[in-house]
Amino acid sequence: MLYVVSTAVIPFELKSSLKLTVFKSDASFFNAEQMTLAHDIADIMIPKTHTPGASDSHAAQILDELMVSWASLNTQQQMLSFLSEFKDRARDLHNNDYLLMTRERRLAYLVEIDQNAFEDTTSPFLIAYKRFKELIFHLHYTSKEANPEFILVPGGYKGDVTEDELQAIYKRQYL
Amino acid sequence: MNNEFDVIVVGSGITGGWAAKEFCEKGFKTLVVERGRNVKHRGPEYKDFEAPWELQNRGMPAEELAENGHYTTLRQKGHLYRTDALQFFADDKQSPYSFPKDKPFMWVRGHQLGGRSLTWGRQVLRWSKKDFQANANDGHGIPWPISYDDLAPWYSHVEKFIGVAANKDGLETLPDGEFQPPWEMSYAERFISDNLAKRYKDRHLIIGRSANITQPTEEQLKLGRGKCLARSYCRRGCSFGAYFSTQSATLPAAQKTGNLTVVTDAIVERVDYDDKTRRATGVSVIDAKTLEKRQYKGRAIFMCASALGTVQILLNSKSATFPNGIANSSGALGHYIMSHFTGVVASGDVQVEEDKFAFGRRPIATYIPNYRHDKLMDADFVRGFGFQTTAQHRSSVSPPAKRPGIGIEGKEKVGQSGPWKFRAFMYGEILPYFDNMATLHPTQKDKWGMPILHIDAEVKENERKMVKQAAKDIEEMLIAGGCSNIVVNAVPDSKHIPLGKQIHEMGGACMGSDPNTSVLNEWNQAHDVANLFVTDGACMSSTATQNPSLTYMAITARAANYAANLLKKGLM
Ligand SMILES: Cc1cc2nc3c(=O)[nH]c(=O)nc-3n(C[C@H](O)[C@H](O)[C@H](O)COP(=O)(O)OP(=O)(O)OC[C@H]3O[C@@H](n4cnc5c(N)ncnc54)[C@H](O)[C@@H]3O)c2cc1C
Ligand code: SF4
Asked if A166 and A89 sit in the same domain, the reply is no
How do the residues of chain A divide into helix, strand and coil, expressed in percent and rounded to 5? 60, 0, 40
- pLDDT at residue A5, rounded to an integer: 44
State if residue B133 touches ligand 2 by the CB under 6 angstroms criterion: no
B249-295 pLDDT, tens per residue?
A: 999 999 999 999 999 999 999 999 999 999 999 999 999 999 999 99
Asked if A168 and A88 sit in the same domain, the reply is no
Asked if B35 and B120 sit in the same domain, the reply is yes
B46 belongs to a structural domain = no
To which H or E segment does residue A32 belong?
helix A32-45
- pLDDT at residue A1, rounded to an integer: 27
A37 belongs to a structural domain = yes
Q: Which residues of A touch B409 (CB under 8 A)?
A: none
Measured between CB atoms, does A126 come within 8 Å of chain B?
A: no
Asked if B298 and B414 sit in the same domain, the reply is no
Ligand 1: distance of its center to the CA of B249 in Å?
15
B455 belongs to a structural domain = no
Distances from the Cα of B399 to the Cα of A64, A136, B405, angstroms:
21, 11, 9
To which H or E segment does residue B536 belong?
none
Pocket of ligand 1 (CB under 6 A): B 10-16, 33-36, 80, 108, 110-111, 115-117, 119-123, 267-268, 304-306, 309, 313, 503-504, 536-537, 547-549, 552
CB-based contacts of B101, cutoff 8 Å, min separation 6: none
Q: Tell how strand B394-396 and strand B266-274 pair up.
A: unpaired
Asked if B288 and B148 sit in the same domain, the reply is yes
Asked if A168 and A126 sit in the same domain, the reply is no
B556-566 pLDDT, tens per residue?
A: 999 999 999 99
> pLDDT-based confidence at B353, cuts 50/70/90?
confident
Asked if B173 and B227 sit in the same domain, the reply is yes
Q: Which residues of A touch B210 (CB under 8 A)?
A: none
CB-based contacts of B22, cutoff 8 Å, min separation 6: B556, B557, B560, B561, B564
Distance from CA of A122 to the nearest CA of B (A): 16
- pLDDT at residue A4, rounded to an integer: 37
State if residue B231 touches ligand 2 by the CB under 6 angstroms criterion: yes
Q: Is B296 left (phi over 0), alpha (psi -120 to 50) or beta?
A: beta
- pLDDT at residue A3, rounded to an integer: 32
Asked if A38 and A67 sit in the same domain, the reply is yes
Has residue A7 got a pLDDT over 60? no
CB-based burial, B553-569: b 16+ in 10 Å, e otherwise: bbbbbbbbbbbbebbee
Asked if B413 and B332 sit in the same domain, the reply is no
For B487, counting Cβ atoms within 10 Å of its Cβ (0-12 exposed, 13-18 middle, 19+ buried), the class is middle
Asked if A105 and A160 sit in the same domain, the reply is no
Q: Which residues of B touch A62 (CB under 8 A)?
A: 58
- pTM, two decimal places: 0.96
> pLDDT-based confidence at A27, cuts 50/70/90?
very high
A7 belongs to a structural domain = no
- pLDDT at residue B373, rounded to an integer: 84
Asked if A88 and A3 touch (Cβ cutoff 8 Å), the reply is: yes
Asked if B144 and B282 sit in the same domain, the reply is yes
Question: At B532, phi and psi to the nearest 5?
Answer: -115, 125
A5 belongs to a structural domain = no
B270 belongs to a structural domain = yes
A44-76 pLDDT, tens per residue?
A: 999 999 999 999 999 999 999 999 999 999 999
> pLDDT-based confidence at B376, cuts 50/70/90?
low
Please, which contacts does A2-7 make with residues 24 or more away whose CB atoms are closer than 8 Å?
A2/A84, A2/A87, A2/A88, A3/A87, A3/A88, A3/A91, A3/A97, A4/A33, A4/A84, A4/A87, A5/A33, A5/A87, A5/A97, A5/A99, A5/A100, A6/A33, A7/A32, A7/A33, A7/A36, A7/A99
CA B377 to chain centre: 30
End-to-end CA distance of chain B: 23
Question: Mean pLDDT of all residues in chain A?
Answer: 91
- Of B48, B243, B244, B364, the residue with max ligand 2 atoms within 8 A of its CB, to mutate for a pocket test, comes to B243
Asked if B157 and B183 sit in the same domain, the reply is no
Residues 138-167 of A with CB under 8 A from B: 138-144, 147, 150, 152-163, 165-166
B204-250 pLDDT, tens per residue?
A: 999 999 999 999 999 999 999 999 999 999 999 999 999 999 999 99
State if residue B497 touches ligand 2 by the CB under 6 angstroms criterion: no
State if residue B545 touches ligand 2 by the CB under 6 angstroms criterion: no
Residue whose CA is closest, atom 35 of ligand 1? B11
A69-104 pLDDT, tens per residue?
A: 999 999 999 999 999 999 999 999 888 899 999 999
d(CA A164, CA B355): 9
Has residue A2 got a pLDDT over 70? no
d(CA A1, CA B11): 61
Q: Which residues of A touch B185 (CB under 8 A)?
A: 159
B453 belongs to a structural domain = no
- pLDDT at residue A16, rounded to an integer: 62
DSSP string, B469-522: HHHHHHHHHHHHHTEEEEEEEE--TTS---BTTTS-EE-SS-B-S-TTT-SB-T
Q: Do A154 and B229 touch (CB under 8 A)?
A: yes
Distances from the Cα of A36 to the Cα of A109, A111, B394, angstroms:
17, 19, 38
Asked if B392 and B467 sit in the same domain, the reply is yes
Q: Which residues of B touch A53 (CB under 8 A)?
A: 411
Asked if B327 and B529 touch (Cβ cutoff 8 Å), the reply is: yes
Distance from CA of A144 to the nearest CA of B (A): 6
A2 belongs to a structural domain = no
Q: Tell how strand B483-490 and strand B293-303 pair up.
A: unpaired
State if residue B42 touches ligand 2 by the CB under 6 angstroms criterion: no
pLDDT (average), residues A23-44: 96
Nearest to A175 among B49, B360, B406 (CB): B360
Number of structural domains (chain A) is: 2
d(CA B395, CA B41): 35
B4 belongs to a structural domain = yes
A47 belongs to a structural domain = yes
Number of structural domains (chain B) is: 2
B147-180 pLDDT, tens per residue?
A: 999 999 999 999 999 999 999 999 999 999 999 9
State if residue B233 touches ligand 2 by the CB under 6 angstroms criterion: yes
CATH label of the domain that carries residue B519:
3.50.50.60
- pLDDT at residue B6, rounded to an integer: 98
Q: Which of A160, A171, A175 to probe by mutation at the B interface, max B CB count within 10 Å?
A: A160
d(CA A97, CA B132): 74
Query: What's the 3-state SS for B259-322?
Result: CEEEECCEEEEEEEEECCCCEEEEEEEEECCCCCEEEEEEEEEEECCCHHHHHHHHHHCCCCCC
Count A/B contacts: CB-CB distance under 8 Å.
Answer: 137
B232 belongs to a structural domain = yes
Asked if A92 and A168 sit in the same domain, the reply is no
State if residue B213 touches ligand 2 by the CB under 6 angstroms criterion: no
- pLDDT at residue A96, rounded to an integer: 83
Asked if B370 and B471 sit in the same domain, the reply is yes
- pLDDT at residue B378, rounded to an integer: 77
Residue B338 burial (CB count, 10 A) = 27
Distance from CA of B170 to the nearest CA of A (A): 23
Asked if A51 and A91 sit in the same domain, the reply is yes
Has residue B520 got a pLDDT over 90? yes
Asked if A83 and A116 sit in the same domain, the reply is yes
Asked if A101 and A156 sit in the same domain, the reply is no
For A157, the domain range is: 148-175
Closest CA to B16 of B133, B159, B112: B112
Asked if A66 and A116 sit in the same domain, the reply is yes
Asked if A73 and A113 sit in the same domain, the reply is yes
Signed CA dihedral, B69, B72, B77, B80: sign only: negative
For B404, counting Cβ atoms within 10 Å of its Cβ (0-12 exposed, 13-18 middle, 19+ buried), the class is middle
Q: Which of B205, B359, B402 to probe by mutation at the A interface, max A CB count within 10 Å?
A: B359
Signed CA dihedral, B511, B16, B107, B467: sign only: positive
B85 belongs to a structural domain = no
Asked if B471 and B518 sit in the same domain, the reply is no
Q: Which chain B residue shows the shortest CA-CA distance from A111? A: B406
Nearest to B359 among A53, A62, A175 (CB): A175
B526-558 pLDDT, tens per residue?
A: 999 999 999 999 999 999 999 999 999 999 999
For B320, the domain range is: 1-40+112-163+244-336+437-445+506-572
Asked if A131 and A153 sit in the same domain, the reply is no
d(CA B392, CA B423): 10
B378 belongs to a structural domain = yes
End-to-end CA distance of chain A: 60
CB-based burial, A133-168: b 16+ in 10 Å, e otherwise: bebbbbbbbbbebbbeeebebbbbbbbbbeeeebee
Q: Which residues of B touch A158 (CB under 8 A)?
A: 184, 358-360
Nearest to A75 among B63, B402, B404 (CB): B63
Has residue A8 got a pLDDT over 70? no
Asked if B193 and B213 sit in the same domain, the reply is yes
Asked if B107 and B500 touch (Cβ cutoff 8 Å), the reply is: yes
